[in-house]
Amino acid sequence: MALTQRPLFDPPIVRRALRDAFGKLHPRHMVRNPVMFVVLVGSALTTLALARDIITRQGSVGFTLQLALWLWFTVYFANVAEAMAEGRGKAQADSLRATRTHTMAKRLEDPTDHLSGEPVPAPALRRGDFVLCGAGDVIPGDGEVVEGVASVDESAITGESAPVIRESGGDRSAVTGGTRVLSDWLVIRITANPGETFIDRMIALVEGAQRRKTPNEIALTILLSGLTIIFLLAVATLASFARYSGAAPSVPVLIALLVCLIPTTIGGLLSAIGIAGMDRLIQHNVIAMSGRSVEAAGDVNTLLLDKTGTITLGNRQAVEFIPVPGVSVERLADRAQLASLPDETPEGRSIVVLAKEKFGIRGRALAEGRTLVMTGGGDGVAGERHEAEFVPFSATTRMSGVNMGKLHLRKGASDAVARWVREHRGEVPGDLAPIVERIARQGGTPLVVAEQDNGTPHVLGVVHLKDVVKGGIRERFDRLRAMGIRTVMITGDNPLTAAAIAQEAGVDDFLAEATPEEKMTLIKREQSGGRLVAMTGDGTNDAPALAQADVGVAMNSGTQAAKEAGNMIDLDSNPTKLIEVVEIGKQLLMTRGALTTFSIANDVAKYFAIVPAMFLATYPVLDALNVMRLHSPASAILSAVIFNALIIIALIPLALRGVTYRPAPAAVILRRNLLVYGLGGLLLPFVGIKVIDVLLVSLRLV
Amino acid sequence: MTIGGWSQIGLFALLVLVITKPLGIYLVRVYDGSTRWLAPVEQLIYRVCGVDSAEDQHWTRYAGALLLFSAASMLLTYLVLRTQHVLPLDPFHRASVVDRQAFETAASFTTNTNWQSYSGETTMSYFSQMTQLAFHNFASAAVGMAAAVALVRGIARRSAGRIGNFWVDLTRGTLYVLLPLSLLLALLFVQQGMIQSFAPYRTVTTLEGAKQVLAMGPVASQEAIKQLGTNGGGFFNANAAHPFENPTPWTNLWSMLAIFAIPAALTYLLGRMVNDQRHGWAVLAAMYVLFLAGVTIAYWSEARGNPIHESRGIDVATTATNPGGNMEGKEVRFGIATSALYATVTTDASCGAVNSMHDSFTPLGGLVPLLNIQLGEVVFGGVGAGLYGILVMVVLTVFIAGLMVGRTPEYLGKKIQTREVQMAMLYVLVFPAAILTLSGASAVLHGGLAGLANAGPHGLSEILYAFSSTAGNNGSAFAGLTGSTYYYNTLLGLNTLIGRFAMMVPMLALAGFLSEKRTVAESAGTFPVNTPIFVALLVAVIVIVGALTFFPALALGPIVEHFLMQAGRLF
């Protein structure tokens, strides 16, 4: 499996981060983060002041030394946080890189002539080349199947060990470089040059090589820079106010105050939060093409969900036998089961199972083609033996069935079966239509069963096939609704069926008999109403809608066109994951907001620590502001700076993991986060600074 | 503190609440153009001035018109003040106003600050008072209201940067709001005995037998717009402490009501125009919280008085005949409660009229007016300026708190993104940059220190107050600082311009940017801007941003002064 789950503090990643963080001290790198750049400059100035103190043997060298060290730690810790987040991506990238193929490929001069091939190294392939891959071959690059059908092991990309079928034409034609053909052969047209393949792009994305600041991140950086400038002004002018008052705080002390006031906590963790958000998606096997799309996911108002596979289990299942008057339900069940025995479709299987569960009618032995079937078998009752001939489903007859000697059984759409009965001069009972209609109204599919037993055929009754809504999906939609997200079900079913399923699943709206054009119209309508739309898709005809949607998650099993159009790719091809994607987007933004609030709220305590300490010599009465009763001015200032540095380390797990997220209305989330990060941010430093102060004193560091 | 004092404060707070809605509805009708009872006059003005009243201006054009109007009217005032000795309506033959003071006064009145480094009764001719200063009292208020309405339009509309027509807003605000209300208020004032006269100055014999010249003048008409437009420039040097300018407790109450009336009503206009009345009330609620907190501290501190007085054997107990507390610098006819209230009101709103001397307040009592201004003049604030100021704070609140609910922050459906945060931060930065830099320089430069009347922390408070008052376009003075020097005239004059226009332009840009955005549909996931928790957040952001910015400076000023007073030292 390519994308592995890693513990938060994976020792190799931590080691690498501790090392990489030094490299990030370069001013050219630091200047991208204005808040931490100010700390860097402050640390350098404090170090200069320290050097001066040592040379001139003036001032308190021990104090300035500790101050300088902790200021450097502050910068370093912030870099560690970023390196940690990047390290997780790099580790993913390394394991992906291992799957990149350097094998030889068989390039075809002429795609129709399989013997025209010549072996070339995979990196030499260019867009438009044709290659032939046989069983056991690694597919040399991204491409489209132009000929052949084969089972392919895509576990290198998806982590899913079950092989998938890839064939030319339709929605299953895309193959990814690095995957392996298990059986049969494929002719593939290469669609990506080396370095531009899916895996290459994934590596770049998870590694953060192409990471650009997202819009929200830029806005937040501006806010933080603004605050930094304000505090820079406050501290710089404090020097002259102090001079007016007859006090002379040293430059290192002013820098300490400045560093404590500017939002270093969020400033230091901001990029880590962004990178970790992308990483969390990757942990869910979703690759986001940009950080922007992750943010957009948090803003989504409307989810378009395909019915099949997302809301319902893939297939319809039999839930009820409804005989027409004059026929016993057992007889209907028996005949329906008999007619379904050779039917390998999930619907057919479910009829067999239902008959067995409800009436104890055993499945009978079967083999391919012609077989001996025991009929009339109750428990322990020997049935008759028959030769059975299968009548498979076809688009023209829209029926399937079985012929056993004189006994002919048919099941299928009501009009198709009725026609068959009439054609054989049978009579369709008037009671059939209301039953069929009732089932359709409930969102089910009516399957009419008829038999012809050596004479005129007659209708036995109806099997109610039903879409089975996935367990727990209703609760998920309720949670989404609480978050203010509307769910819209997309289905090809008729409106009647769609409405019934929509009601059962608890979606807010549905689009029945959906065509790609209607889907597009729906998205545009939602967007013009000021809503952001997320959807999943896999087919080529989904591509325009995927591109139009604000968040388009393409299934990895889908076509190349769909993958190009979406801004995320789900490697597991699980449409339900859209909900998790939205949650991760929200969590990302919440983490930023929570830490910003925390960072600003912290300042109050730091003022009470540092300001009285700075002016105690001039105005002893200001000790009244020393509400924490800190030991001395030196211990107070150091404690505040140490707290400020350590809090960054302490919050790295939170930044990487994200704040706890529970779906709830905005007002509830806000109240909870304000309580934890606002009030907590206000109070925690009072305790933290006091504890550090006591420790400093007991360790005789001041 | 007395029950009588609190009930006066309570009555005032209630009366403001009562007029908010009716006046707010009227303002909405004025600015959407549906009030037309002076239409012929209005149309005539447009025709004479060549204004295309149908034009919907892009924010850049709106801001350009605003700046042009302000610059031109400021220049005119400068010229009139410089030449008033040759102009008519000057029975006392006043000299020309000196250049630095003329500049400062022109800047100060154009920016709705009305900081005065001169005595009105000895410096200004009636012509200057009535054509220039009174004109600015109307015009600067109308400009402020226009800018606020433009911002609200930007929030409410989706109009590709178009936020209304400055000339129309200016005209309608003056014609339909300020002129009629001033007329009404002036009549109320005159009824209470405020003077309105061109009669020569009177010479009277005082009880002690000394001769005293009593300055006269058309006071009531000036006084009405001075309060209503949160201008605050006094006709007399003593401002509203002068018996001719504020004769009775009733004129005192009408004055304070006039100061808060339009700023309060504008919050109703906000709610109405953005189609979320509860949001309007929420903004007003935040203003009320900050206002009541301020007046409580000021009243408590003044009523508590000075411990040093008590230790010297002075009777500071509050009885039926003795106000108790700190009466220094207060008028006996107003007492402690309404002096503290007036000081809070005049600094909450950037009015700057005073009925007592803030310089003589106790350190904490004096801290309240100073901090009120430093919070950014957003607690009611100047007419218009208060609303757009607090809306910028709302944008910041929404941005910080909005992230916490897991969405790109949006304010009433408009996403707050890079450009909006940029403009909001620019707006917020101007204030501390101007106040702190100029105060910091003045605290160490000779020119700054030369004007100080008091040493120590109190002197620092005086410097801080002067620059805060001018940057905040408040105009009230802590007194004690001699402002009529080249140093202070120039810097304070400049400061008023920075505090007005350097903030207005990014604010109008913000309005333009917001109007370019499509409105995102509201849902349960949207950050609510009309709940008590939003009010609490808004208050917290205003206090934290303001307090964090100025706390170090204040610690060395009023705060340390307070502790020193407790320890028995005064300055």
Please indicate whether, in this complex, the C-beta atoms of B549 and A219 are within 8 angstroms of each other.
no
> Which one-letter amino acid corresponds to residue B29?
R
Whether A621 has its CB under 8 Å from any CB of chain B: the answer is: yes
Minimum Cα–Cα distance from B458: chain A residue: A245
Please indicate whether, in this complex, the C-beta atoms of A298 and B407 are within 8 angstroms of each other.
yes
Over the stretch B219-264, which tens digit does the pLDDT of each residue have? Answer: 898 899 999 999 988 888 889 999 999 999 999 999 999 999 999 9
- Given this model, what pLDDT does residue A4 score? 53
On average, the pLDDT of chain A sits at 85
Return d(Cα A167, Cα A173) in angstroms, integer: 5
> Which one-letter amino acid corresponds to residue A61?
V
DSSP class of residue B98 equals P
Q: Are A543 and A560 in contact (CB under 8 A)?
A: no
Q: Which of B519, B528, B567 sits opposite A530 (nearest CB)?
A: B519
Please indicate whether, in this complex, the C-beta atoms of A240 and B403 are within 8 angstroms of each other.
no
Over the stretch A128-156, which tens digit does the pLDDT of each residue have? Answer: 889 998 888 888 888 888 888 888 887 77
- Given this model, what pLDDT does residue A626 score? 93
Q: How confident is the model at residue A370 (pLDDT cuts 50, 70, 90)?
A: very low
Tokens read off for B444: 């160490």
Q: How confident is the model at residue A40 (pLDDT cuts 50, 70, 90)?
A: very high
Minimum Cα–Cα distance from A234: chain B residue: B549
Whether A485 has its CB under 8 Å from any CB of chain B: the answer is: yes
Distance from CA of B523 to the nearest CA of A (A): 5
Q: Residues of A with catalytic annotation?
A: 306
Q: Which residues of chain B are modeled with pLDDT < 50?
A: none
- Given this model, what pLDDT does residue B82 score? 95
Mean pLDDT of A341-356: 83
On chain A, the residues whose CB falls within 8 A of the CB of B440 are 236-241
What DSSP line would sit under B165-203, residue for residue? -HHHHHHHIIIIIIHHHHHHHHHHHHHTT--B--PPPEE
- Given this model, what pLDDT does residue B146 score? 97
- Given this model, what pLDDT does residue A576 score? 78
- Residues paired with residue A570 on neighbouring β-strands, in sequence order: A286, A555
Best to test chain B binding among A245, A580, A586, A679 (most B CBs inside 10 Å): A245
- Given this model, what pLDDT does residue A191 score? 85
- Region of poorest pLDDT, from A100-114, A527-541, B179-193, B370-384: A100-114
A-B Cβ pairs (cutoff 8 Å, strict): 217
Distance from CA of A659 to the nearest CA of B (A): 10
Whether A606 has its CB under 8 Å from any CB of chain B: the answer is: no
- Given this model, what pLDDT does residue A299 score? 87
On chain A, the residues whose CB falls within 8 A of the CB of B408 are 215-216, 295, 298-299, 589
Burial B441-475 (b: 16+ CB within 10 A, else e): bbbeeeebeebbebebbbbbbbbbbbbbbbbbbbb
On chain A, the residues whose CB falls within 8 A of the CB of B567 are 621
Please indicate whether, in this complex, the C-beta atoms of A603 and B544 are within 8 angstroms of each other.
yes
Position A367 pLDDT exceeds 50? no
Whether A608 has its CB under 8 Å from any CB of chain B: the answer is: no
Position A375 pLDDT exceeds 70? no
Name residue, tokens 């705080």: A249
| Interface confidence (ipTM) of the complex | 0.93
- Given this model, what pLDDT does residue A663 score? 82
Return d(Cα A653, Cα B37) in angstroms, integer: 66
Distance from CA of B401 to the nearest CA of A (A): 6
What DSSP line would sit under A281-333, residue for residue? HHHTTEEES-HHHHHHHHH--EEEEEIIIIIEEEEEEEEEEEEPTTS-HHHHH
Return d(Cα B249, Cα B246) in angstroms, integer: 8
Mean pLDDT of A74-79: 95
Q: Which of B417, B393, B394, B389 is nearest to B520 (CA)?
A: B417
Please indicate whether, in this complex, the C-beta atoms of B533 and A674 are within 8 angstroms of each other.
yes
Please indicate whether, in this complex, the C-beta atoms of B443 and A243 are within 8 angstroms of each other.
yes
Minimum Cα–Cα distance from B431: chain A residue: A230
> Which one-letter amino acid corresponds to residue B485?
T
Distance from CA of B353 to the nearest CA of A (A): 28
Q: Which of B518, B548, B557 sits opposite A603 (nearest CB)?
A: B548
Return d(Cα B256, Cα B227) in angstroms, integer: 7
- Given this model, what pLDDT does residue B416 score? 93
Please indicate whether, in this complex, the C-beta atoms of B553 and A238 are within 8 angstroms of each other.
yes
Distance from CA of A583 to the nearest CA of B (A): 9
Position A381 pLDDT exceeds 50? no
Sheet holding A104-108: strands in order across? A118-121, A104-108, A130-133, A186-190, A143-147, A174-175
- Given this model, what pLDDT does residue B263 score? 97
Return d(Cα A59, Cα B188) in angstroms, integer: 68
Q: Which of B403, B413, B523 sits opposite A596 (nearest CB)?
A: B403
Please indicate whether, in this complex, the C-beta atoms of B404 and A229 are within 8 angstroms of each other.
no
Q: A residues 192-251 near B, CB within 8 Å?
A: 215-216, 218-220, 222-223, 225-226, 229-231, 233-245
Return d(Cα B450, Cα B483) in angstroms, integer: 10
Q: How confident is the model at residue A377 (pLDDT cuts 50, 70, 90)?
A: very low
Give counts: helices (H), strands (E), chain B.
23, 4
CA dihedral sign of residues B252, B257, B259, B260: positive
Please indicate whether, in this complex, the C-beta atoms of B437 and A233 are within 8 angstroms of each other.
yes
Return d(Cα B431, Cα B427) in angstroms, integer: 7
Over the stretch A382-404, which tens digit does the pLDDT of each residue have? Answer: 445 556 788 887 777 788 888 88
Distance from CA of A362 to the nearest CA of B (A): 52
Best to test chain B binding among A230, A262, A659 (most B CBs inside 10 Å): A230
Q: Are B370 and B468 in contact (CB under 8 A)?
A: yes
Q: Which of A222, A238, A604 sits opposite B422 (nearest CB)?
A: A222
Rounded alpha-carbon distances, angstroms, from residue A398 to A338, A412, A459: 18, 6, 16
Q: Around Cβ A555, how many Cβ atoms within 10 Å?
A: 25
Within 8 A by CB and 6+ apart from B290, the residues are B348, B372, B375, B379, B539, B542, B543
Position A643 pLDDT exceeds 90? yes
Over the stretch B467-513, which tens digit does the pLDDT of each residue have? Answer: 999 999 998 888 778 888 899 999 999 999 999 999 999 999 999 99
- Given this model, what pLDDT does residue A211 score? 64
Whether A484 has its CB under 8 Å from any CB of chain B: the answer is: yes
Distance from CA of A258 to the nearest CA of B (A): 11
The model's pTM is: 0.86
Q: Which of A257, A624, A666 sits opposite B527 (nearest CB)?
A: A666
In which region does residue A250 sit, left (phi positive, over 0), alpha (psi from -120 to 50) or beta (all else)?
beta
Q: How confident is the model at residue A5 (pLDDT cuts 50, 70, 90)?
A: low
Position A590 pLDDT exceeds 90? yes
Assign B506 to helix, strand or coil: helix
B322 vs A367, more confident? B322
Please indicate whether, in this complex, the C-beta atoms of A244 and B443 are within 8 angstroms of each other.
yes
Distance from CA of A483 to the nearest CA of B (A): 5
Minimum Cα–Cα distance from A587: chain B residue: B406
Q: Which of A222, A230, A530 sits opposite B518 (nearest CB)?
A: A530
